[in-house]
A and B are shown apart, each in its own frame.
Chain A
Amino acid sequence: MEKKRNPFDSKVVHYLRPNQPFQCGRPGDPCEMGPTTSGRCSSPDGRCNPVPGEGKTRQRFFRAATLLTLGIVLVVLSGNDFTSLDPGTHSSFHSHLDCASCHDQIDLISVDFLRRGILSQGEPHASMKCLDCHVMGEHGAKPHSIAPEYLSLLTEGLSDSGRPIENVACARCHEEHRPQESTRSIHDTRCQSCHQQQFPSFDDGHPEFSSTYGQPKRAIQFDHGDHARKHFSEYPDLAPESCDDCHILAPDRHRMMVQPFAISCAPCHADSISGHGPTGKNRGIEFLSLPSLDSETLSQTGRDIGAWPRVGSDFPRGWSLRWIREGMSEDTDLEILSGVELYDLENQPDEVLAATQKLALQFKNQLRKALDSDLEIFIRSLVSPAEEMDVDRVQISRLSGKLPRSLLEQARTSWFPPPEEESVISSESSTEDDSMRDENDDDDEDLLVDDDDDDLLTDDDDDLLLDESHPADLATTDRDESSITRSGGTISAIDPDKWANAGGWYFDAPSIRYRPVEHADRFIQEWATMEAKIGGKDPDSKSIFQQVFGPLAAGNCATCHIGVQLDEPKVLWSPSSMRPPSYPQATHFSHGPHVLSGSSATCLSCHEIASDPQLSNDWKSISRNTCTECHGQQIQSGCTTCHEYHVGPRSRLLNSARIEQLNLPRKK
């Protein structure tokens, strides 16, 4: 239907100017000319009251709002109140900070404010303020908080890292003023800005783990399968029932640790250290030993070395050789004597005799010096020159094993007795002790069997310790079948090795020996550690290492401690000594969330025993599939779940207080 057109048109209405800023406001009878553009009535009598048009009204609103806002902004800024510009709440970590803690304080109405805002990109040292509190080390602001040179080595060939390694502002990853988002939650794309090998997620495209992941370098050799199959069935009372009988979660809840030796191993293996049990070696470690020399031949050829016992040990080795090496010529003397049987020097060339004499005199000289000095000097004389400067007093204490001076004196007396004693011993040894020597090896020089009149243990008349009228001493005198009578006195001829079954130092002619009975013996640990590190840098290291840590050494250390190897820069005594992690440690795994109650996982959820166990490990490595059974599904799987960005050695330092801050009054 056609609508009726509007009869109202310009012929009826006098004046309309909708495109003008003002209109005539007189109702009913607008004037012909209308108001001026400035809003004044153009009529001479000014009868009209012009009203603004729609556009003019909008323009007035626009200007008013703009100017009002500008005014408010200027008023607020003039107060220099930074809180009015507060971009948002801090994260909880920074809730105690004010603006000046992180930002430079500048006047909000100033040239500097405008200059920075217009010309620059933020504060010039923005991240440096973060590092005031977060001590990240020398390279804290560098990528991964490590030295650029080191990073270049790590990333060589892994990325198109042609870009210069510049400082990375903390805020590039840690966004502040966003309380809904943790400043510690880093989006994966941040990592992928440099790491070029990109993939959608952990369970989709992440590279497979290394073939040894989950198989850390072992410090202890332990075959789980072998124990479970054989030993535990043989000794069910001693067998563990579950993994946590031997393994516990560390206090930090990240690492799994092996229970101490006393709990996990000692019930079965304690005896093997002390020398008891089926695998025990009941003979102590030969520390210093007098070599057997043909002193008669030397004397006959005019190379007198003074008194020298007829019975000694083989060619010097280990500590003994290092002890006398100082006075010997490496290239000539020791080379000449190499392979020579020193106890038979007949028909040996003169240079051999000369070198042997030199060796004997050096031995005596060192012994004299040792007895004239102190224990530290003595032990330092046994430390390799390659290591000596780095040995502190605590190490010296451990290396000494608290060797008593009296033992050294006993050895000296036994090896080189005073003339009157020497004659007695010589005569006795030539007449009646040959058979006993065969039976009870090297007992000749033992003070316990010496005929010395002053020997409290052997003098029947004056024996203060032995009272035959006492039942206990009666038992003592009767019990030992090997008790012998020498020079009219009864002494115990018990093997010194047996006597020392509680461990420690003892003299078993011609050697000073040390016998460990306790796990983690400091003396053995320290010497083995030191000699393992020195390795091939010292000619005697291997020999000493073999003496304290060889397969036949007392203590049986090498049976389990495979982490201690000669020439290995890192000596791993125990699983815990493998931590803290080496630098840089870019990947972390926390056992806690995986194994604590509440989780349905058990140890065997991830660890699978290998069907073909290797010496180094009897567990299969952990594959990515093991993790993706949970991660990437309902469990988070971002890069930082497993990877650490700040891998620098000083990425986490204790915020330690200074002593002065205690404000304690000074004592008068």
Chain B
Amino acid sequence: MLNLRTPSIRVIFFVVVAIIVFHYRLHVSNRSLGDLAMTSGWFLLASFLLLGLYGLRKKLPFLPLGKTSTWLMLHLATGFLGAYFFLDHTGYRLPTGTFDILLWIGYAIIILSGFTGWILMRTIPPSLRESMHLLPERIHAEIESMIGKADAEIKELRSSTSNSAFESAYLSVLRPYLHDGPGFFPKGSKESHYLPADLSARYSRSINFSQLEPASVENRIHQVIIRKSELDRQLRLHRWMRGWLLIHLPVTGSMVILIGLHILVVHTFAAGSGG
């Protein structure tokens, strides 16, 4: 569920004022036979730089420059403004030139990845809070610990019974799963005993889950499987929550270069005053 915060009055005021100033400048430019694309371009560049300040602020956490949440809110508001300036600058259409298309796509990726990240950041944490969750850095250690406990259970089972069916299933199916990574998309579900579908089929041939004794080793191992599945889910959500930045930031870096070139080209080749 999307958990939106109500934007502060100051942020709303900032957005409204920025839009008014933008349109006023366009109006002035229009009245003076100015180049409207140039005017909107400068506003777009300003919003781009302002968005970049948020990243700079994170590099300087020791400076008393306001709360991070305020900066994030400002970053989001500027993102909305930037999207508006971008659409106005491009005339609400896809350009036809190769370089311009590249710029358009790049900026669109930044905007879309940013808003996707914002939605993920507002959606995933509540989902994580629904269950006992760990810091992602500690999940690997947790899983290692669980594997150790499961191995110990299997050793104990081996010493107490001569039936090696479960041990065999553990070694061939369950233990590889416990060592497997979380992946990027969900693999298991309740119907597949929290195992990936292919493993679940093999696992079910050896174990009848409906008849497990609550105090049995098999049941305790299954609880470990369920816990692993939950930790995998948490890891995946963390990956999603952070993964968009691996698109957002590198494309921003590319766009810094491309925007700089765009400004040079426009100023070099755009029709000037007419001499």
Contacts and interface: CB of A to CB of B under 8 A. Distances in A.
Category for how many chain A residues contact B: 35 or more
A85 B132 contact: no
Given A86-B97, A87-B99, A166-B273, 8 more contacts: A16-B141, A61-B249, A69-B257, A85-B269, A103-B269, A123-B272, A125-B275, A172-B271
B264 A65 contact: no
Interface in A84-130: 84-89, 103, 106, 113-114, 116-118, 120-128
A283 to B, nearest CB: 65
A577 interface: no
A624 B206 CA distance: 92
Contacts of A167: 273-275
B198 interface: no
Interface of A: 3-6, 8, 12-13, 16, 18, 23, 27-28, 54, 57-58, 61-66, 68-70, 73, 77, 83-89, 103, 106, 113-114, 116-118, 120-128, 141, 166-173, 177-180, 189-190, 192-194
Given A6-B134, A128-B275, A193-B30, A62 B270 contact: no
Nearest to A54: B242
Category for how many chain B residues contact A: 35 or more
Interface in B140-158: 140-142, 144-145
A316 B83 CA distance: 90
Contacts of A114: 264
B161 to A, nearest CB: 28
B274 A87 contact: no
Contacts of B142: 8
A114 B132 CA distance: 57
Interface in B94-110: 95-100
B257 A62 contact: no
B271 A170 contact: yes
B63 interface: no
A492 to B, nearest CB: 78
A538 B98 CA distance: 72
18 contacts: A8-B138, A12-B145, A16-B141, A64-B250, A65-B253, A66-B250, A68-B254, A73-B257, A77-B261, A86-B99, A87-B97, A87-B265, A106-B268, A120-B268, A120-B272, A170-B274, A171-B270, A193-B33
Interface string B109-141: 000000000000000000000011011011011
B251 interface: yes
Contacts of A58: 245-246, 249
Given A84-B98, A121-B267, A172 B31 contact: no
B267 A190 contact: no
Interface string B232-266: 00000000001001100111111011100101111
Contacts of A63: 253
A189 B23 CA distance: 14
B268 A113 contact: yes
B132 A4 contact: yes
Contacts of A86: 97-100
B32 interface: yes
